[in-house]
Structures are given as structure tokens and as C-alpha cells.
Amino acid sequence: MCGIVGYLGPQDPKNIIVEGLKKLEYRGYDSAGVAILNDGKTKRVRAEGKLKNLEEKLAGEKFNGHLGIGHTRWATHGAAVERNAHPHQVGEISIVHNGIIENYLEIKQELLSRGADISSDTDSELVAHLINEEIKKTQNLLQAVQTTLSKLIGAFSVVVMWEKSPDELVAFKDGPPLIVGLNADKNEYFVVSDVQAALQHTKDYVYLEDREVVHIQNKDVKYYSALGAPLKKQVVTLDWNPEQIEKMGFKHFMLKEIYEQPRAVAMAIQPHIDTDKHEVNLKNLGFDKPVDEVFKSIERIIFVACGTSFYAGNVAQYLIEQVSGIPVQVDIASEFRYRKPIIPKNTLVITISQSGETADTLAAIRMAKEKGALTLSITNVQRSSIDREAHGHLYMNSGVEVGVASTKAFTSTLALANLLALQIAKARGTLSRAQEQEYVKSLLAIPSQIEVVLAFDKYFSEASKKLQDFKGFLYLGRGVSYPIALEGALKLKELAYMHAEGYAAGEMKHGPLALIDARMAIVVVAPTDELIEKTISNLQEAKARGGKIISIGTDENPSLKSMSEYYLSIPATSWMTSPLLSVVPLQLMAYHLADSLGYDVDQPRNLAKSVTVE
Amino acid sequence: MCGIVGYLGPQDPKNIIVEGLKKLEYRGYDSAGVAILNDGKTKRVRAEGKLKNLEEKLAGEKFNGHLGIGHTRWATHGAAVERNAHPHQVGEISIVHNGIIENYLEIKQELLSRGADISSDTDSELVAHLINEEIKKTQNLLQAVQTTLSKLIGAFSVVVMWEKSPDELVAFKDGPPLIVGLNADKNEYFVVSDVQAALQHTKDYVYLEDREVVHIQNKDVKYYSALGAPLKKQVVTLDWNPEQIEKMGFKHFMLKEIYEQPRAVAMAIQPHIDTDKHEVNLKNLGFDKPVDEVFKSIERIIFVACGTSFYAGNVAQYLIEQVSGIPVQVDIASEFRYRKPIIPKNTLVITISQSGETADTLAAIRMAKEKGALTLSITNVQRSSIDREAHGHLYMNSGVEVGVASTKAFTSTLALANLLALQIAKARGTLSRAQEQEYVKSLLAIPSQIEVVLAFDKYFSEASKKLQDFKGFLYLGRGVSYPIALEGALKLKELAYMHAEGYAAGEMKHGPLALIDARMAIVVVAPTDELIEKTISNLQEAKARGGKIISIGTDENPSLKSMSEYYLSIPATSWMTSPLLSVVPLQLMAYHLADSLGYDVDQPRNLAKSVTVE
């Protein structure tokens, strides 16, 4: 979702904050703003749209002060208009906020009953009101924040400034990341949602844990628990330990890579999208003909891949068939290469492999070429063997994936599958301009929406504890959520060594229902779409037989929620992009379960990252 | 494999035996013979080929006696020539034998060392030698048989007559079925491998258990254990209890239906094969054009089905693509109908449903018709909803399937898939006459070969006991054996409520290998074919990580056997027909495991036979 930069130090806060926000642009946002202290008064500037709109408004402005906060907002509560942009200012208090306040309605009623003047549609503004009420009573920012924190339920990170106290910055979090950057030599302090925003200024960071508060005042940085107990926190110097730098403060590479998915998805789509026109422009794929000509001439697509990449291919089948009307088949590489597959003329064979070195997939693309197919490879590693073999090339641009269990390469591939579906449909004239714009907007929002999902990690962690008690798992889904069920089950197998199997929800009655009893958990991927009622019917049959249900649903779906032991929520998006969100809770549940069982998450037993033998 | 009829009674043995053998013709056989007592001497008549050859040889022969045995043989040890046909006669002893003597070589060496004159290549003749040696010592048929039985290892059923004793018949079994038919009123006795052979003469039967001996002499029928202890056996009157008649003496319908597979497969193919020319003739399928014209005009096939039928469709994909070169896709009905599938023109959509009433499959065929597809239904129930909906029709002809977990409908469908592949290939000119004959011969041998597999049921039962200790199962296969692995895993889920998952063997490295430890069993379907070395490599990786392996292999494959805890053997056949054999041990293992756990095999919890709702 949103990006946060807070600054207290000798430099011009405007430049530091805007440059920091630019580093977080990849997350996607639809408005931005800063609040900077100027001669003891808060000067707030906000703008809809891109950062350049904010920069235009700020051009020429000088700030006589050294304290400020900035924010890029991706709309959750309330439309993407300036009135809802951050920072939110109430009286002498300004705040920026990432995440969601769950007891929003309750707090709003309370504030209204006390006569508060609420000017935006956001949940964020309410936090500013609460702190402002407290500061009026106590004139103590730290105390005001601590009292407010005790009233908040949800997933949030907040940075607060008080115009009466120009040398003080307070921040707290419960959910989304918040990191304190320290440059003691220069007497500079940063509070950011991602170290990227401050890396050019300092290498020393303190990672806040949930419900911790940081209080920076007069060159002194103190940390407190939610109840006010002082805490000692470790400073991580990012050039000190190469692994720490690589892990960016995360316990495991895999967790880091799960958290990198907003950026990975943004990087995957960025070269191929015109963000102003909301237009897909897949070009320069390396074919010897223009891309649209290629896509117009093909009559059939076959995806070939292994493991997680195979499931990405399964998602791609649903997307491409429905949007472009071209028949798509998906094959396991080790089966494809030995079953003497039929490749009629005008077939495009698309391989998916993160490493670009998967032996079966490499053999498959060679065989497809021999049989006269046009080939397109989706890889993360440029100039890898499969990449070199293919006629056309698409890149995940995910950055190095270290965890053996693939995460960001999967979501990046799903993003590319969206682009492919749209470009093929455009080339073949089955997609209107309006539809294209709508789908592109959905896709552009995905990085921010993945951040929203990540913000609720504590719920996935909590749900994962419950999973330990089960003897087995069925992961269910329909349509595009079916391959996500397969992928979720694979993650649990790979990481937690627990037997989980993915199933098309409609197939339950044809056998697996016999497995269901109270020791069998059902993990269902059921975002609100046209299939959800069917899926709920399948679940009812399972629940009636004692099965325990853990659901991934959209926002608050009451009928799904009421039948679930755990209900894990993802934001609403188009059916095409929903797999990019629904897989994230499944990755995190598998991660946390494996970690709590003491397994080596980055190197699961028996497995290797790149399978270069058959 | 073979059929057995023994008769002792007042009627002409020749007619009784030949008519009985005709009832067993469906099993497939390649020679036949009788041995009948005629004025105190054994008259033996044998013929290669069909029963009509034997009948021609017997025409006009009169037998002055009322004791005889007859046999239809499907060659296992030794070619299908008269010399190897049954009955085997040595001295005064004649026998017929079903099954396989495993310590054949050892016994042969022993007999040769004592100067025996062995005239056939069969293991069966050796049994006659052993009994003949004993009878010479003791002049006591029962005692001779008991001594011989103690020397035999394998799966066998044997009926013995001694020309010196015209009112005596002895039989024993260890493996293949052997049933005593009693008609006390008429003083008539039958010993048959299937009650079908005697049903028109009597309704009273005694089912021999393994290593039991029956001794019929002078209107007295006695039963003994292998060690000679007298046994009380229950007489089952087949019209007494309707369920008993229906179950034909089997404990469950499912077990009966597993054992009915030789007949079911024979009935499925019989209308469509010219057994003299070894030619496929799929005709009168109901299309408004000749079948070959239809098959020439189609450019693509999509199979749509649920559960077990979906896996049959997966097998069909391998067969049809490789033999006919037409691209084939397979879809789960509940997914197909909701994913707006692309159905290009000249697509044949084939649905598979035993009941013909499966709701999702019915909806799928209707949708396919709306989209202009030509449709073909494979059902067991004529005039069922799906059958009525389809343009063309193929019938399993399996007879009623009562067990909720499908068995004979599956193998019947696999047989039809073979026929479809061959007919499509013929129509499109991709199959030579010689290849067609070879494949048809393989298919015609399948009923007998299934009987060979069934004869080893006790090994599957024994292996199943071992399965109870595991926490989970991976079923692996490549190529046509991959869907069989899926089906085997489904059977275990359905019946034994144990978590088993089918996987393409080549996909193990891409995740599931992490599940492998000593409490995880791997059931591998690996008949000897061009993929077996790849599969063995995959197994080695699993075994190195502590996984326990249960293999379905062809005959004695030493490298596969050496790495397996249990090695379950099926006869050699073509790659196209191998799924019809390899699935049988998986069905039986699941059945025995569920039965020993006390579960209701015919009505597994939570499941229904015909899924007529979504």
C-alpha cells in the first residue's frame, strides 16, 4: 500500500522526503503529500496522482525547519482525492499512516459524539484526532501516542509530528513494517516503511516490532512497549553483515522475498505498461516479427513448466483463454517431453522457469522448437539456458530469488500472464480499450494491495499455529483460484513437510470428501467472484462432515466468514489479478508454520533451488 | 486367465464341460481341452484356438463315463500350442490348473533328477507329475494331493481326476477362485473357477478358501485344510439371499466388481472388435456420418469428466495423441463449464460418466453442444441423461456398478479409450495394419491378464497390511502410468480415508520430495517401458531420503524389485493396455486396507455413487 518517510535532521526535509517517496513509487499509489514544519507552523501540501504533481506544488517552496513527514497513498478507506491524502492534520498534530484501523467505525462514533470535525473519509484521520485530543490534555506527545495506541485495533504503522515540538518525532506500528534509520554523526533520523527510502543517507537501522513505539527527541532515540516499558533495540548496520544486508532484516530469505513481492510485481510489469494511458505494450520480446503480428498468427498456446511454474501456467490458461479466446493447454515438462506431444502449426509454446535452467523444461523447449513451434520463455535469469533457447523472451525482473520455495517469481509470473492475456486479446481484437484500462488499473494496484495483505501477516502467523494440529490438508479453489490452491498446498508440503493436496473444489464429491473429518483442515481460496456460491456449497458439504475451514476471502464476506475457523482477508480486485493477492496468505501461513516447527525455511530438506537434472 | 470346469455326475460330462467353458469364454484364452473318463480310461482332447476347434474334435465322440475336467488356457508359461494345453495327464492322473507355480524351476529340477518325462513347457504339468508320483506310492488320491499341495508355492487352483477312481474328484486352491457346485438331488458335483459355468445346473455353492482341499467321492463331499484337518464349510444358496446372489459370494460389491473386470473389459470391447482379423471396428456410434468420416474431420478432442472418469480421460489423452496425432485436452467438468472454454470448430468433446447422470459433466456436454462441438459420450447406463444428450455413444457394458468407488467402469473405459485411439488413428491413416493387429491382440489378452493379476490378490492383501503404518502416501507414475497413480491415490482416499496423492514422477523434485521420510510410503506404477529408467531415478532420490517403496512392475524387474519393500507384479503387455493391468493391484490394496480397518467399502463415508448435484 502506502509509503512513509519521516525526517528529523539538519537537511532540507522537503528534498529528503520527496526523494525517499520516489524510492517507494514501485508500490503504487494514487496521491501523495508532505507536512513540514516551517517557522513553528505545519505546512501541508498534498496532491492527487503522481509525485510529480506534488513536486510541482512544492516547487519554489522553502521550509525553514528540519522536521517533516511524507506519504504516498493507495486508497483503501475513501476515494483517491486530495481530501483523503496524507498527512492528516488535526490541530497541532500531523500523521502519516499505513494499513487499516479495524475498529474505525467505533472510534468515529466516539469522536463524533465528542464533537470532532472529521474532514476526510479515511480511517487515518481518526488517529490524528485521537492524538490531538490527548495532546490537548497532557502536552506530552509520547504519552498521547501511547494512550492512542491502546485504543487502536488493526494493522497499522503511524508517524506523528507535533508543531509545538520541532525536535521530536514519534512513531509506532502493529503490522506493516516501520524502520528507524539513524545517522548519529549528522544528527539525522529517519522513520520509513522500507529502508530503500533512506539507504542513501544511512546504513544503521532499528526494525520496530509490533506494538512498539519509537520516540526521537533532542538527539535521543528511545523505544517503548505498548504499555510504556522502555526497550533495548538492536541497531542493524546494513553493511556490517552481508547476509543481514541481503535479508534486509528479515529472518529468512523466503520471508524477505515474500515481502518483496510488491516490488517484484511492479518491476515485472513496469517495462510493459504505459501508466498514463493504462495501456499494455508488450514489445521487443525478441521475435523476428512484431509482437501483435505473432499473437495474431498463433492458433494455440501450450505452457510447459514444472512445480510452482506449472501452476502459474495453469493460471495463465484461465486468463488467456477467457480474455483472448485462444485455446491454451498446460503441461508438466517431464510429461510433455516424453509423451510425443502434438504441436500443430501456429502453436506458441511458452515455458516458465525462474532459473531458466530447469532440465525438463529446457528439454521441452528444445523439443518444441524441433517440432516447429514458436517459443517464448518466461525466466527470471537473463541469458540462462532456456532464455537463450527461446525465440521470444519475457523477464520476471524479480531480483535474485534465494529461498528454495518460490514466491516472488510466482507472483511476477502471474503479473506477466496478465500482460500476455491482455496483449494477445488486443492483438486479436477481443478486448475493448475500456476493458484494457480497467484490467491495467487492477494490475497497477496489485503491488499496493499485496502490501495490504502483508500488513496482516500477524493474522496469517496466528492462523498457521492452528494448522499444526491437523493431520492433513485439502486446499480448494475454483477457476483461477484452483491453481492457487495447488500452489498453496505445494508450499505447505515444501516448507512444513505436511501433507497438503490441492483440489478443484467441484471435485470434492468425487472422492476426497471421504477424507474429511475433524482432523482434516480445508484451506479454501474463495475471493468474491461469480464462482463463490458454488465454492461455498462445496464447503458446506465438508463442514457438515466435521472439516475445519480456513478461508482466503475478499474483504468481509459474511457467508464465507461465518463458516470459517479462520477468515483471512484480501482486498477486492479483478478476477484476473486475484491470484496475485490470494497466494500471499498461503505463502505466509506455510512460512510461519514451518518456522515455528523449527524447519529450515530457506533450504527445505531434500530440495534444490534449480532442478538441472531430470 | 484360464477357465476351469470339473464334473462328476449322471449327465454326459462332455456337454456339461463344454457348455460351462463357453460361459467362461469372455476371459479370453488361446487353447482348450477336456479329459473325460471313458470305460475306465482317460480320453483327452485338446485344441489350439477357440472352443469351436475343440468342439469339432469332440464332435461325434461319445463317452461312457460320468467324470471329466475341462479348461480354457491363456498362455503364461509356454506358447499357446496344443502340447501346452490342459488338461495335463501324467500316468493315471489328469489335472487342470489356473495360476502360476512360483517354485516351478525347483520342482522341475527335482522331477528331472528322478527321471520324469516332461512333455510340455508349462508349470501345470509339474503338478500332475507330483501327484502321479504320490499316487503310485499310496493309491490314495486325497493323500497324494495333500502331499503335493505342501510342495507348491504360488497362486493356483487345481482340479484332479484319477482314472482308477471313476467316482472321485479332488481340487484345491491358493489364490484364484475355485467353487464347488452341489446338486444333491441329482447327485451332481461341479468344481468351477466361476459360478457362471454351473449356474444353469445348481444354485448351491461352497467357496473354497486358500489352501483348502475338497474331496468328492461316492456322494460325499469333504473339505480339508492344507494339513489335512477336516473343515465345515458353508453352502451358499444363490437364490436364497438376493444380496448374496448379487455379490456372487464376494464380501463386498466392490470386490466382486474388481473381480468382474475381466468380463467387463471383454464386454466393453467385444462389440467393436473382429477377433479373427484382429481389427477394430467402431461403428454405429450414432453420429449422422460414418465414424471414420467423423474422425477424419475433427482437429481436436477435449475429454470432460469428474473423479475417476477424469483420470480415464487423462489416459485416453496419452493413447490418442500418440497413436493418432490429434491434439487432446482433458478437463475437469466443474472447471470446464465455468471457465468459458474455447471450443474451436471441428472439436470433438468426449464425456465420460459411469452413471451418465453426473451433474457437472451433463452441464459440460450441454455447453459443448451449444458452442457447436460434436459430442461423444462414454457411459455405462444407456439412455441416461448424458447419453441422451450426446451425438455419439460408446457404452462400457460393465453391468451394474454398485460400489461407490468405481473399478470396473474405469477399466472398461480404458479399454474403450484403446479402441477410440486405434479407430481414430486408422481413420487418419497413422496406424499400419500390423500395428493395429498387435494392439488389438494386446487388448484381447487383457481380460485373461487381469485374471492373472487377480490370482495374486493375496499378495496385494498382504502388502495392504503394511500400508496401515504410514502417515501418508505418494503415488507416482510417468506417461500413461501417471493417471493410474492419480486413480490409485483416489481409491485409497475414498476407501481407507488415508491421505494419498498422485504425482507425476518427474515432479517429485519440484516440491513433494520434501515430504519424504520413513513414515511416507511411495507407491509407484512402473511397468517396464521406455520411461522406467527415469522413474527408477526418481525413486532412488526418494529412497535415499528414507521413503519406503511399493512397486507395481512388469514380471520380475530386478532393479525395481531390489529397491522395493513390496514388489507387485503384472504381466507384460503393450504400453497402451498397461493401465488396465497396473490399476488392479491399486484397487485391491485400497480395498483390503479399508476392509481390514473395518470401513464400509461399498459405501465410503461422505460419498455418493452418482453425483447428480454440483
Which value does ipTM take for this structure? 0.75
Closest CA to A485 of A470, A473, A497, A496: A473
Q: How far apart are the C-alpha atoms of B85 and A587, rounded to whole Å?
A: 64
User: Is B506's CB within 8 Å of A471's CB?
Assistant: no
Grid coordinates belonging to A281: 505494450
pLDDT higher than threshold 80 for residue A247: no
Its pTM stands at: 0.78
SS (H, E, C) A96-114: EEEEEECCHHHHHHHHHHC
- Under the banding of pLDDT at 50, 70 and 90, the label for residue B77 is low
pLDDT higher than threshold 70 for residue B41: yes
Of B307, B344, B537, which has the smallest distance from its Cβ to A507's Cβ?
Answer: B307
For the residues A409-434, what does the mean pLDDT come to?
97
- What is the largest distance, in Å, between two alpha-carbon atoms of chain A? 79
pLDDT at A536: 87
Closest CA to A4 of A203, A194, A173: A194
Nearest residue on chain A to B491, alpha-carbon basis: A511
User: Is A537's CB within 8 Å of B614's CB?
Assistant: yes
Instruction: Give the helix ranges, DSSP H, for B174-290.
Output: 242-247, 253-259, 261-269
Q: How far apart are the C-alpha atoms of A228 and B263, rounded to whole Å?
A: 80
User: Is A342's CB within 8 Å of B326's CB?
Assistant: yes
pLDDT tens digits for B174-191?
878 899 999 988 999 999
pLDDT higher than threshold 60 for residue A545: yes
- Give the residue numbers of B annotated as catalytic, written as ranges: 2, 609
Nearest residue on chain B to A532, alpha-carbon basis: B338
Distances (CA, A) of B433 to B155, B292, B445: 37, 16, 18
User: Is B507's CB within 8 Å of A318's CB?
Assistant: no
Q: Rounded to a whole number, what is the distance in Å from the CA of B577 to chain A's nearest CA? A: 16
Contacts of B308 in chain A (CB under 8 A): 510-511
pLDDT higher than threshold 60 for residue B163: yes
How many other β-carbons are positioned within 10 Å of the β-carbon of residue B62? 8
- Under the banding of pLDDT at 50, 70 and 90, the label for residue B546 is confident
Closest CA to A93 of A140, A46, A155, A149: A140
pLDDT at B611: 66
For the residues B418-437, what does the mean pLDDT come to?
97
Contacts of B472 in chain A (CB under 8 A): 472, 499
pLDDT higher than threshold 80 for residue A532: yes
pLDDT higher than threshold 90 for residue B469: no
- What's the one-letter identity of residue A105? L
Phi and psi dihedrals of B425, rounded to 5? Answer: -65, -40
Exposure class string for B389-410: b at 16+ Cβ within 10 A, else e: bbbbbbbbbbeebbbbbbbbbb
The answer to whether A374 and A295 are in contact (CB under 8 A) is no
Closest CA to A226 of A293, A302, A158: A158
- Under the banding of pLDDT at 50, 70 and 90, the label for residue B385 is confident
Contacts of B314 in chain A (CB under 8 A): none
pLDDT at A578: 97
Q: How far apart are the C-alpha atoms of A487 and A253, rounded to whole Å?
A: 19
Strands B230-231 and B220-225: antiparallel
- What's the one-letter identity of residue A67? L
User: Is B513's CB within 8 Å of A471's CB?
Assistant: no
For the residues B429-436, what does the mean pLDDT come to?
96
pLDDT at A248: 66
pLDDT higher than threshold 90 for residue B332: yes
pLDDT at B452: 87
For chain B, domains (ranges, CATH) are: 3-243 (3.60.20.10), 246-453 (3.40.50.10490), 456-596 (3.40.50.10490)
User: Is A501's CB within 8 Å of B497's CB?
Assistant: no
pLDDT at B108: 94
Among the residue ranges A3-17, B243-257, B302-316, the one predicted with the least confidence is B243-257
Q: How far apart are the C-alpha atoms of A321 and A318, rounded to whole Å?
A: 6
CA A336 to chain centre: 33
Q: Rounded to a whole number, what is the distance in Å from the CA of B281 to chain A's nearest CA? A: 25
The answer to whether A382 and A284 are in contact (CB under 8 A) is no
pLDDT at A241: 45
DSSP state letter for A27: G
The answer to whether A393 and A294 are in contact (CB under 8 A) is no
Q: Where are the beta strands (DSSP E) in A130-228?
A: 154-162, 168-174, 179-183, 188-192, 204-207, 212-217, 220-225
**Those residues with Cβ within 8 angstroms of residue A598's Cβ, 6 or more apart along the chain or in another chain:** none
pLDDT higher than threshold 90 for residue A501: yes
**Those residues with Cβ within 8 angstroms of residue B269's Cβ, 6 or more apart along the chain or in another chain:** B415, B416, B418, B419, B443, B444
Contacts of B614 in chain A (CB under 8 A): 506, 534, 537
pLDDT at A357: 87
Q: Rounded to a whole number, what is the distance in Å from the CA of A514 to chain B's nearest CA? A: 5
pLDDT higher than threshold 70 for residue B27: no
pLDDT at B240: 44
SS (H, E, C) B99-143: EEECCHHHHHHHHHHCCCCCCCCCCHHHHHHHHHHHHHHHCCHHH
For the residues B70-92, what does the mean pLDDT come to?
87
CA B101 to chain centre: 19
pLDDT tens digits for A94-143?
999 988 888 888 999 999 999 999 999 888 999 999 999 999 999 999 99
User: Is A322's CB within 8 Å of B333's CB?
Assistant: no
Q: Where are the beta strands (DSSP E) in B447-590?
A: 472-477, 500-504, 520-526, 548-554, 566-570
Concatenated DSSP letters of A270-293: GGGEETTTTEE-----S-SS-HHH
Q: Rounded to a whole number, what is the distance in Å from the CA of A490 to chain B's nearest CA? A: 6
Nearest residue on chain A to B336, alpha-carbon basis: A479
Closest CA to A427 of A337, A353, A320: A320
Contacts of A603 in chain B (CB under 8 A): none
For the residues A436-461, what does the mean pLDDT come to?
92
How many other β-carbons are positioned within 10 Å of the β-carbon of residue A223? 17
The answer to whether B549 and B475 are in contact (CB under 8 A) is no
pLDDT tens digits for B228-282?
999 999 998 766 444 555 666 688 889 999 999 998 999 899 999 998 899 999 9
Grid coordinates belonging to B360: 457437472
pLDDT at A179: 92
pLDDT tens digits for A105-117?
899 999 999 999 9
User: Is B505's CB within 8 Å of A306's CB?
Assistant: no
Contacts of B517 in chain A (CB under 8 A): 497
How many other β-carbons are positioned within 10 Å of the β-carbon of residue A402? 15
Among the residue ranges A538-547, B203-212, B266-275, B480-489, the one predicted with the least confidence is A538-547
> Which residue is catalytic, options A222, A371, A466, A609?
A609
- What is the largest distance, in Å, between two alpha-carbon atoms of chain B? 79
- Under the banding of pLDDT at 50, 70 and 90, the label for residue A79 is confident
- What's the one-letter identity of residue A472? G
Distances (CA, A) of A120 to A46, A80, A361: 13, 11, 53
pLDDT at B241: 45
> Which residue is catalytic, options A2, A203, A408, A548?
A2
The two counts, helices (H) then strands (E), for chain A are 20, 27
- What's the one-letter identity of residue A1? M
Q: How far apart are the C-alpha atoms of B524 and A449, rounded to whole Å?
A: 43
Interface test with chain B among A298, A331, A606, by most B beta carbons within 10 Å = A606
Nearest residue on chain A to B601, alpha-carbon basis: A514
CA A552 to chain centre: 15
pLDDT tens digits for B509-529?
888 888 888 888 999 999 998
Interface test with chain A among B410, B478, B495, B515, by most A beta carbons within 10 Å = B515
pLDDT at A240: 43
Q: How many CB pairs under 8 A join A and B?
A: 173
Q: Rounded to a whole number, what is the distance in Å from the CA of A497 to chain B's nearest CA? A: 5
Average model confidence (pLDDT) for chain A? 91
pLDDT at B613: 62
Question: Crossing angle of helices A578-596/A481-496, nearest 10°?
Answer: 20
Of A325, A509, A534, which has the smallest distance from its Cβ to B611's Cβ?
Answer: A509
Contacts of B329 in chain A (CB under 8 A): 327, 329
